Amino acid sequence: MRVGTQEDKLFKKEIGVFNHYRNFYYESKSPGQMQQGLGELTTEYKSLLDQTRFLTWISGRLEKKLQRSNRELNDRNTKLENALSELVKVTAGRNAYVIIYCIAIVLFVLEEFFVEPVISMFGEGLGLSIIIKLGIVIILKISEGIIEDRIKKKPKLQSIETIKPVLGFGKV
């Protein structure tokens, strides 16, 4: 055994007991001395056994506490990932609405300036104008879902990838 290591310092008493009774074993002793040595060794062993049982009990409690903390951390990580996913969805939806409303304004303005004059040339086209505007609204509603899906996918790859290492999740 190397003298002076951290482990030797920690188990100094135990190593001393071991060395004492190892030397005691190799020396010739009378039966009375052997019996007395065996009694002392038994007492020392009982003390070490009690310490070992106590340390095992403490480590069991600490392990349970560590497992409970790990479960709580995993639950919190799951909640954070879900919240982050919801945040991406909400942000994507909001961005999609902004884009759709901009497109809607442009389409309705274009319809008023370019399609309405053509309809007016052919007579009263109020019904046709309403149908065209309804068509624009339907196209916008369909486009909204497509745009929202594309926006959701793009930020998710960028924002979650950049946020996860900060939160300690590692790579996806």
pTM: 0.49
Convert the pLDDT of each residue in 50-103 to its tens digit: 888 998 999 999 999 999 999 999 999 999 999 988 888 888 888 888 888 888
What is the percentage of the chain residues whose pLDDT exceeds 70?
84
| pLDDT band at residue 163 under the 50/70/90 scheme | low
- Mean pLDDT across 15-27: 81
Amino acid identity, position 67:
Q
93-97, 152-156, 163-167 — most confident range: 93-97
Q: What is the pLDDT of residue 14?
A: 82
Average pLDDT, the chain: 80
CA dist 100 and 153 (Å) reads 17
Q: Does 18 score more than 80 pLDDT?
A: yes
| pLDDT band at residue 155 under the 50/70/90 scheme | very low
Tell the burial category of 92 from Cβ atoms under 10 Å away from its Cβ (0-12, 13-18, 19+): buried
Convert the pLDDT of each residue in 107-149 to its tens digit: 888 878 887 777 777 666 677 777 877 888 888 888 888 887 8
Give just the sign of the alpha carbon dihedral 70, 72, 75, 76.
negative
Q: Does 154 score more than 80 pLDDT?
A: no
Rg of the chain taking only CA atoms, in angstroms: 40
Strand extents, DSSP E, 10-124: none
- Residue-wise burial string across 95-120, b where 16 or more C-beta atoms lie within 10 A, e elsewhere: bbeebbeebbeebeeebeeebeeebe
Structure token pair of residue 31:
């039966």
Q: What is the pLDDT of residue 62?
A: 95
